[in-house]
Structure 1
Amino acid sequence: MPPFTYELHEISHFAFAPARAMWDIAQLWLKSPANLLSYTHVGKNMVASVELFERLTRRYSKPTFGLSSTLVAGKRVPVTESVVWRRPFCKLLHFRREFGDAAGAPQPKLLIVAPMSGHHATLLRGTVEAFLPFYDVYITDWVDARQMPMSAGGFDLDDYIDYLIEICATLSKQNDGVPLHTIGVCQPAVPLLAAVALMESANNPHVPASMALMGGPIDTRRSPTKVNLLAQERGSHWFRRNCISTVPFGYHGAGREVYPGFLQLAGFMAMNIDRHVNAHMDLFTHLVEGDGDSAEKHREFYDEYLSVMDLTGEFYLQTVDTVFVRHALPKGEMTHRGARVDPSSIHRVALMTVEGENDDISGAGQTLAAHDLCANVPAHMKADYLQERVGHYGVFNGSRFRNQIVPRILDFHAMGRPQVRSLSLVNRL
């Protein structure tokens, strides 16, 4: 990456500060009930313009999960969020349901491995919310690398896998007789599969009962997307030269090499730029017309989507090289601290794969490849599901996720191998 790219990004943000202050004052005046102009069509257009400018130049902070309750068997139950395990680059969050005296038999544990790919774990808020009525839910909350001082050391893909092994062991050692199920959403599909394979190779007694891999890049040679083709075309050295920057002074992580979150966000936005432009034009229209519900839905989505975090440079580069350039896992060449990762050693852990028909990040078939690699998982412990008419985000969020994917995962956990064949590819397994 050209020198001082991060600094230039920071300068451009601060350059907008005077304009933002001016527009904030204008917004207060335009929205004031005492201002008769605010009731006119011209005034409403000015208010919408001010909000759009503010949102487009804002720096979005990390959102909160904000899940204070859930419905369990038709009853509203309070939920408290707490940190139950911590390492320098990750916190394990537990969403504890407060049953009080009405607590029944313990429900299974569910570990959701959130992606470390530029967005915060709160991007999976809907995923957590959908599973809370049925599981004791935990989720990995990865730390923004620009906030980690150099004294914390490095963090790469091997460290990520170590964290997952330790988390699984920690949750399994609670000795409450409750099974632990795991879900890897997108990027974590590879390290989760690797972690389970390493645990099986070592005959670790704390392997989870199952793993569900959702929209993950197990073998990106299948149905390659624009992201996959770019990695193949450019190669690892190109990413080192063009995607890694140094955190500037002013942050705890000053001096650390990172893959900046703003760069990842720019890439995601560019893939569907027309959709994002139209969405903001729709927001302007909703604000002028007074359609508060539609405007609020836009705010909720983009408050999350535009909030990004940096990744350590070593983790990003090792992931790109291992997963997208060399295809090390499906080729049998992936290693972890010198030991080969062998998915065929997995035989005690049930496997389910979930994909989206229109996924433009992990093409259909990339996650399905896990079944070929896990050849020694018994057939009755395998399941696959292809969800029609959803893209990448729809694999883990939205109405089709809640109404069609979640019930099939519940069945898979309860029955071992339910009838959850693909909707459009009947014989994919």
Structure 2
Amino acid sequence: MPIGEFGGAPDLPAEDSPALTTPMYWMYEMGQASLNPARAVFDATKLMFSNPFNPWAHTQVGKSIAAACEVFERTTRRYGKPEWGLDDTEVNGMRVPVEIKTVWEKPFCRLLHFERKLVKPLRTPQPRVLLVAPMSGHYATLLRGTVEALLPGHDVYITDWADARMVPLSAGRFDLEDYVDYIVEMLHDLGGDVHMMAVCQPSVPVLIAAAVMEANNDPFVPVSMTLMGGPIDTRSSPTAVNKLAEERGMDWFRGHVITKVPLPHPGFMRDVYPGFLQLNGFISMNLDRHVDAHKNLFANLVKGDGDLVDKHVQFYDEYLAVMDLTAEFYLQTVDQVFVRHLLPKGEMRHRGKLVQPSKIERIALMTVEGENDDISGLGQTEAAHRLCSAIPMDRRVHYVQKGVGHYGVFNGSRFRSEILPRISDFMVSSAHGRAQRAPQADSATRAGAAE
């Protein structure tokens, strides 16, 4: 039962039952441990029936046994954080290596820089982009395709959110307000002249961070912000998953999807919304499709169709790798964004102060939506324009990509060929527009001082 980008819980009794969640994670860990011997047996069997020196490996029976063993192992394993696999890119027609460096770090997030090892400096500087990845169950590597598409024409940084079960309880809590503070700190560390891109869930904290920085007259406000498929106002074209949040209510979420991290994880006893529950929600939305995909995997393994097997493996290695979220961040986001709609109502507060997007003036705004998005409905992201009323019309863009769903907004062929070029043009024009407005702003400041 996903809420926006968040995964959800299985169908549990409707009444509040905190006792249901208390041992939930512990039971999951015991289940994983109990499967280890079976996985070892199936893995050994697969190796035996895949060995070319085994006559059975060349028969239909042998291939079927090996395929069945691999499907069992893949459907019962715990998937770790995937690798980025972005070792090089093409800049101005030349292939250059890429080195991923951590340039800023706090307990719940690292800021990664995809540093391109250019042979010589570029004649025209390319936009520096802070890509804010969703903290909604999957790792930042879910945006691998987005980063790969950006690299040839942009200097890319990305938020690499931590798995909450790996953060010791001594590191403290992490909620929506902390998320906003992290974004502000990253922008300060980058030193200005940065364009922000937020994919889905972070559209809300990114907009809040922009409003907070404008209210403080912060010199490091981003040049532009691009919000993509985000739940700024889920009252606009509410999807089925949006409606579930209001129907269930906060007590249900608190009682049924929050549990404590068990040993031996570093985050022992931290309250979290566990990744395995989120994965349950992701899969239950399209269970038939996932079952068919694994049937096809079995058939392709038997046939020896390596290309189709590789496509399946690449997708599911990413899709099945999930991370825990801190309970306070998850519950606060569901309550304030999906149930009470505080930001579009003008009631959102950050550190006790009212958040006022209407005060944003210096930051150009672009919103992107997918025509067939069933997670963030049409109009939910566009609502940012209504809230940011002080941004001049010539510094705003709204774009709806026809024929794509939620993931097509930030990944795939349509993103690369139709969406990204528009975003790149928007960033360049935003930087040019701010440069032109700066002398005017300085003149106005001097005139005010003279008066």
Same fold (TM over 0.5): yes
Matched, 1:188 2:207: no
Using the TM superposition, give the Cα deviation of residue 414 of structure 1 relative to its aligned residue in structure 2, in angstroms: 2.2
How many pairs were matched up?
413
The CA distance in 1 between the partners of 2:124 and 2:168, in whole Å, is 44
- Determine helix, strand or coil for the equivalent of 2:380: coil
Matched, 1:56 2:70: no
The answer on 1:396 being equivalent to 2:413 is no
Matched, 1:220 2:239: no
Distance 2:29 2:240 in 1: 29
TM-score between both structures, scaled by the size of structure 2: 0.90
CA deviation map 1:380-425 (0-9, x unaligned)? 11111111222211111111111111111112112349xxxxxxxx
Superposed CA deviations along residues 316-345 of structure 1, whole A, max 9, x for unmatched, are 111111100100000001000101111101
**Counterpart contact for 2:231–2:337, Cα < 8 Å:** yes
The answer as to 2:80 corresponding to 1:66 is no
Output the CA distance in 2 between the equivalents of 1:144 and 1:88. Answer: 10
Equivalent-residue separation in structure 2 for 1:184 and 1:108 (angstroms): 15
The amino acid of 1:363's aligned partner reads G
Amino acid at match of 2:152: P
Tell me if the contact between 2:224 and 2:430 (Cα under 8 Å) persists in the aligned partners.
no
Check if 1:26 corresponds to 2:40.
Answer: no
C-alpha offsets along residues 235-271 of structure 1, whole Å, 9 cap, x if unaligned? 1121111111000111100010001011111111111
Q: 2:63 aligns with which of 44, 56, 77?
A: 44
TM superposition shift of 1:43: 1.8
CA–CA distance in structure 2, aligned partners of residues 415 and 197 of structure 1: 22
Q: 2: distance between equivalents of 1:341 and 1:358?
A: 31
Q: Give the structure 2 partner of residue 83 of structure 1.
A: 102
Correspondence 1:65-214 to 2 at 5 A: 65-101=84-120, 103-173=122-192, 179-214=193-228
SS at match of 1:319: helix
User: Matches of residues 344-359 of structure 1 in structure 2 within 5 Å?
Assistant: 344-359=358-373
Amino acid across the alignment from 1:375: S
Letter paired with 2:81 = K
CA RMSD of aligned residues (A): 1.4
The Cα shift of 1:39 comes to 1.3
* Cα pair 1:172 1:208 within 8 Å, conserved: no
Report the AA paired with residue 320 of structure 2: L
Following superposition, the deviation at residue 309 of structure 1 comes to 0.5
Report Cα offsets for 1:164-187 as digits up to 9, x if no partner: 0111121125xxxxx311100011
Number of the residue aligned with 1:424: none
In 2, distance between residues paired with 1:358 and 1:279? Answer: 22
Task: Report the Cα offset of residue 100 of structure 1.
Answer: 2.9
Matched, 1:322 2:336: yes
Deviates more, 1:209-218 or 1:282-291: 282-291
Query: Could you say what secondary structure the match of 2:152 adopts?
Result: coil
SS of 1:33 mapped into structure 2:
coil
Contact 2:223 2:430 in 1 (8 A): no
The one-letter amino acid paired with 1:353 is T
For 1:149 and 1:62, the matched residues in 2 are separated by 18
Pairwise CA distance, 1:105: 4.0
The residue type equivalent to 1:347 in the other structure is E
Q: How big is each residue's C-alpha offset from its partner over 1:145-177, in whole Å with a ceiling of 9 and x where there is no partner?
A: 10111110101000000000111121125xxxx
| Distance (whole Å) between structure 2 residues aligned to residue 390 and residue 105 of structure 1 | 33
Q: Is the 8 A contact 2:164 2:272 kept in 1?
A: yes
SS at match of 1:127: helix
Alignment match, 1:292: 306
Q: Is the CA contact 2:127–2:428 (under 8 Å) kept in the aligned structure 1? A: no
TM-score of the superposed pair, with normalisation by structure 1: 0.94
C-alpha separation in 2, matches of 1:169 and 1:108: 17
Contact 2:46 2:67 in 1 (8 A): no
Aligned equivalent of 1:261, options 270, 275, 282: 275
2:256 is equivalent to residue 242 of structure 1? yes
Offset at 1:102? 5.4
**1:304 and 2:318 are equivalent in the alignment:** yes
Contact 1:130 1:402 in 2 (8 A): yes
The aligned amino acid for 1:247 is V
Q: SS of the residue aligned with 2:332? A: helix
SS where residue 133 of structure 1 aligns? helix
Q: Contact 1:69 / 1:78 at 8 angstroms: preserved in 2?
A: yes
Letter in 2 for 1:268: F
CA deviation digits over 1:102-132, x for unaligned, max 9? 5544322100000000111011111111000
Distance 1:416 1:195 in 2: 19
Contact 1:380-1:416 at 8 Å conserved across structures: no
> Is residue 406 of structure 1 aligned with residue 398 of structure 2?
no
Counterpart secondary structure, 2:153? coil
**Gaps spanning 5+ residues in structure 2: where?**
1-17, 432-451
Please, which moves more after superposition, 95-104 or 205-214?
A: 95-104
Aligned to 2:286: 272
* In structure 2, C-alpha distance between the alignment counterparts of 1:231 and 1:365, rounded to whole Å: 19
Alpha-carbon offset, residue 89 of structure 1: 0.7
Which structure has more RCO (C-alpha within 8 Å, separation ≥ 6)? 2
Q: Do residues 378 (structure 1) and 430 (structure 2) align?
A: no
Shift of 1:364: 1.5
